[in-house]
Amino acid sequence: MTTKIAVGLERAFAARGFSEPSVEDLREAASVSLRTLYKYAPSRDAMVHMALEHRHRRYINHVFGDPKYQAAQPIETTLDRIANWMKTEASHGCLFHAAVASAPDDQELRRLLERHKSEVCSLAVAISDETVIETDLMIIIEGLTQAWPLCKDAALASAKRLARLAASSRI
């Protein structure tokens, strides 16, 4: 039941932002009764957090699959997968950044954002077949996701060039 609710909440927030959908809109998106929605997510904040936790798991699975079973690969492959996510799931930009922007004083949202970004970069470094500095890679990945809504494939091409430069500077 929680997955069903999380899927609906994520979809609603991704489509309409964090301030627009009413609780009734969110209940409808989750396809459950109000009582059931509040049982699993007892506040609007809990609904946002549930949606973002679900989004995080989907993103990690989309970009990395199960890294424990993945051979080393070029960082360009990871960047291609991130661009594919942006094309299919996040054409307006990062949902985590949007959540923090909608509630800048919410420290729990900031922790979710930081954890998400840190895990993405750690996994990207772990599966890379080249030596890259995690902070360099975070800047490259963040540049790609933030520039995507405006630049699309040009953002991907630039991210790949920067990744090659970052890897070659470590030699």
Domain of 100: which CATH number?
A: 1.10.357.10
Q: Which of these ranges, 70-74, 131-135, 146-150, has the smallest mean pLDDT?
A: 70-74
Q: What is the pLDDT of residue 118?
A: 96
The candidate with the shortest Cα–Cα distance to 112, out of 129, 91, 94, 139, is: 94
Distance CA 159, CA 132 (A): 14
pLDDT band of residue 82 (cuts 50, 70, 90) is very high
Residue 53 has φ and ψ, to the nearest 5°, of -60, -40
Q: What is the pLDDT of residue 69?
A: 66
Domains identified in the chain, total number: 1
Distance CA 84, CA 140 (A): 16
pTM (2 d.p.): 0.94
- The mean pLDDT value for 97-110 works out to 96
- The mean pLDDT value for 47-75 works out to 90
CB burial of residue 130 (10 Å; 0-12, 13-18, 19+): middle
Average pLDDT across the chain, whole number: 94
**For residues 136 and 171, which has the higher predicted lDDT (pLDDT)?**
136
Domain residues for the domain of 53 are 2-168
